[in-house]
A and B are shown apart, each in its own frame.
Chain A
């Protein structure tokens, strides 16, 4: 392993204790330690924050430069890859793809080829490193298959990560019903497509004892469903990415394909409901949904373009925006960015306690910069936040006590 390291004078964000304290952090042999090691190297974190590395729950690409720039030390990889993560050998290869830098935690396909018909070998894939199973970019249409997936995964103690859109209502829709879609002449679906899907899967989870995690919940009715289900003790959790908290369908503007997402951007009212759900604890996870798409997928008419946002690099800065606006405090933010994903996926991280892996980030919360699609280190710069001024920059990404090389910006 690596040697010793001391991070001096930083403000330590501890999501487990819910505190922020000025404290030095010591690292020995890749783990957080009580005491400084002999001849420890030093990082000066004066006026900066030190926090557990971000665990990004549900990325669509392995994009190490973007993860390092974004302060992501572990990324859970969606099964929608080429080939699909539906066999143990493919899962094992993905699990080793990022080491020793950012660790990739594969999420296995719940059904073979993500076809939604036959159960995939969840148990074997778990042994090869899968930390959850998922239905991928779409949900499983057949309720009977989803029922089996949830009950089988429950026995393995794996959560089932799903997408909440009813395929019958959403079909080939590229936007949410409303004035924007009508003005632009875009095919659209009612927002309740999400709540209908959540209602079904919550009932299936209740019946099977399985844990269902909705990767992106984006509508007022959807949050109501999750809130109610949590009260009745169903194992349910949900995530959101910053676009749904900061933008609405109005931001599609003149057919901006960078603002084409799946699920699609919602109404301004749904965006407000998402902010309330963030404040009241309904939302468990903030994720980037990192999905770099080059010009061949985005420089097209809106209906022909692929959905997706290159979100890893901007995840922290956009999330800090939510803290500044008072929707949650900084320690809670890291619960959603790091501690909760670790807990849900049952992986190390998300903690600054002694003995935890030294997956840490040092960031300057006030440092201003402008998001520039052309200057991103990611595989592609498809961000709906292009040109937006933000604050907060990661200065160090430390994985297992080792400072990761930052790509030149």
Chain B
């Protein structure tokens, strides 16, 4: 049995379960570190299902959500995660900030740092921007999406969803479909799921398929039906509006005809295949409404639920050192 088959983290002798100061990506995490975060998230799934959803472990700590790119769901998810653990949560929307006045990213980071944040959650439109900030501040930084690079908490919540619904991740055939080229969700999921032993396929029109993607340990398909054949999990990605009209694909309706997930097409996957989507969905474009709303197979709302739990786990684990958690160094 390989380590990736085990449902709870088996930390090798002498290794720390999570030795990282920041969470800037899935890249660089060991399989047991990923599993450790998933294990930690389970308790928060339970708590969040109770009528009183509160824990005080982050009381007195300040969480700043610095979003340099629009977001509703991820921002809300991090805000709820922080509040349920008792942190003081402040949201900064860069659209209204001094970045518009020409301040550099590093100066903005230094400003946030000087206000003594205890955790910073960052979303930024440029790949690598979050790691750049993480280098300059004194507190844990969580990447909530940087350009086309990574969105690690999305990958963790997806992994948790798959683990809970399918029992395990290893050997699962996961098809990630849609705009792979511009997708940080795809990159983080590829790294996370392959690390945990899943068989990952990516399906995209050739114009939205990154070069050398096979080097990340996946199989690439441009034919949708071939790609989802026998899949246990079908993960659809959002197609951004600006890519729909002639730039990368001829039209939204052609995309739906060739790459949209419909009930008919789903026949090619396993009969009990799980349907996932990171949201927000373009109904009728990448996914048909009846498929998205299939209560037996769609895990889309469950993904949102797992998102809060996973983010609570990340905030807890990353602040353990500064909170002086017993036995944690």
- Seen from chain A, the residues whose Cβ lies within 8 Å of a Cβ on chain B are 177-179, 181-188, 190, 254-255, 296, 299-304
- The answer on a CB contact under 8 Å between B215 and A299 is no
Could you say which of A178, A188, A304 contacts B126, with CB atoms under 8 Å apart? A304
**B213: which A residues are within 8 A, CB to CB?**
182
**A184: which B residues are within 8 A, CB to CB?**
127-128, 149
Chain A: CB-nearest residue to B129: A301
Task: Tell me the B116-149 residues at the A interface (CB within 8 Å).
Answer: 124, 126-129, 131-132, 146-149
- The answer on a CB contact under 8 Å between B131 and A182 is no
Contacts A184-B127, A185-B127, A186-B127 given; indicate if A255 touches B132 (C-beta within 8 A).
Answer: yes
Could you say which of B104, B105, B147, B212 contacts A177, with CB atoms under 8 Å apart? B212
**B105: which A residues are within 8 A, CB to CB?**
300-301
**B124: which A residues are within 8 A, CB to CB?**
301
Known: A188-B211, A303-B147. 14 other contacts (CB 8 A): A177-B212, A178-B211, A182-B211, A184-B149, A185-B127, A185-B128, A185-B148, A185-B149, A185-B184, A186-B148, A187-B148, A255-B127, A299-B104, A300-B132
Report the minimal beta-carbon distance from B126 to chain A, rounded to whole angstroms. Answer: 3
- Alpha-carbon gap, A187 to B216, bound state (A): 17
Check B27 for interface membership: any CB of A closer than 8 A: yes
**A299: which B residues are within 8 A, CB to CB?**
104, 106
- Alpha-carbon gap, A187 to B212, bound state (A): 14
* Number of A-B residue pairs with CB-CB distance less than 8 Å in the complex they form: 66
Task: Tell me the B129-187 residues at the A interface (CB within 8 Å).
Answer: 129, 131-132, 146-150, 184, 187
Report the minimal beta-carbon distance from A84 to chain B, rounded to whole angstroms. Answer: 24
18 contacts between A and B (CB under 8 A): A177-B212, A179-B212, A182-B210, A182-B213, A183-B216, A184-B128, A185-B150, A186-B127, A187-B148, A254-B128, A299-B104, A300-B104, A300-B132, A301-B128, A302-B127, A303-B126, A303-B147, A304-B126
Contacts A301-B128, A301-B132 given; indicate if A182 touches B216 (C-beta within 8 A).
Answer: yes
Chain B: CB-nearest residue to A254: B131
- Alpha-carbon gap, A186 to B184, bound state (A): 11
Report the minimal beta-carbon distance from A307 to chain B, rounded to whole angstroms. Answer: 15
- Alpha-carbon gap, A177 to B106, bound state (A): 28
- The answer on a CB contact under 8 Å between A179 and B215 is yes
Report the minimal beta-carbon distance from B138 to chain A, rounded to whole angstroms. Answer: 18
Report the minimal beta-carbon distance from B136 to chain A, rounded to whole angstroms. Answer: 9
- Seen from chain B, the residues whose Cβ lies within 8 Å of a Cβ on chain A are 27, 104-106, 124, 126-129, 131-132, 146-150, 184, 187, 210-213, 215-216
- Alpha-carbon gap, A255 to B148, bound state (A): 13
Report the minimal beta-carbon distance from B271 to chain A, rounded to whole angstroms. Answer: 33
- Counting chain A CB atoms within 10 Å of each CB, the highest count among B131, B146, B149 belongs to B149
Chain B: CB-nearest residue to A299: B106
Could you say which of B126, B150, B211, B216 contacts A181, with CB atoms under 8 Å apart? B211
- Alpha-carbon gap, A178 to B127, bound state (A): 16
Chain B: CB-nearest residue to A252: B128
**A190: which B residues are within 8 A, CB to CB?**
211
Chain A: CB-nearest residue to B147: A185
Report the minimal beta-carbon distance from B303 to chain A, rounded to whole angstroms. Answer: 22
- Alpha-carbon gap, A30 to B104, bound state (A): 49
- The answer on a CB contact under 8 Å between A296 and B126 is no
- The answer on a CB contact under 8 Å between A296 and B104 is yes
**B146: which A residues are within 8 A, CB to CB?**
185
- The answer on a CB contact under 8 Å between A185 and B187 is yes
Shortest Cβ-Cβ A-B pairs, 9 listed = A185-B148, A301-B126, A255-B128, A185-B149, A185-B127, A301-B129, A177-B211, A182-B210, A179-B212
Report the minimal beta-carbon distance from B211 to chain A, rounded to whole angstroms. Answer: 4
- Alpha-carbon gap, A187 to B150, bound state (A): 14
Chain A: CB-nearest residue to B150: A185
**B127: which A residues are within 8 A, CB to CB?**
184-186, 255, 301-303
**B129: which A residues are within 8 A, CB to CB?**
301
Report the minimal beta-carbon distance from A178 to chain B, rounded to whole angstroms. Answer: 5
Chain A: CB-nearest residue to B182: A185
- Counting chain B CB atoms within 10 Å of each CB, the highest count among A182, A186, A187, A304 belongs to A182
- Alpha-carbon gap, A255 to B1, bound state (A): 37
Chain A: CB-nearest residue to B28: A254
- Alpha-carbon gap, A134 to B11, bound state (A): 60
**A178: which B residues are within 8 A, CB to CB?**
211-212
- Alpha-carbon gap, A24 to B123, bound state (A): 65
Report the minimal beta-carbon distance from A177 to chain B, rounded to whole angstroms. Answer: 4
- The answer on a CB contact under 8 Å between A182 and B212 is yes
Contacts A179-B215, A183-B216 given; indicate if A302 touches B126 (C-beta within 8 A).
Answer: yes
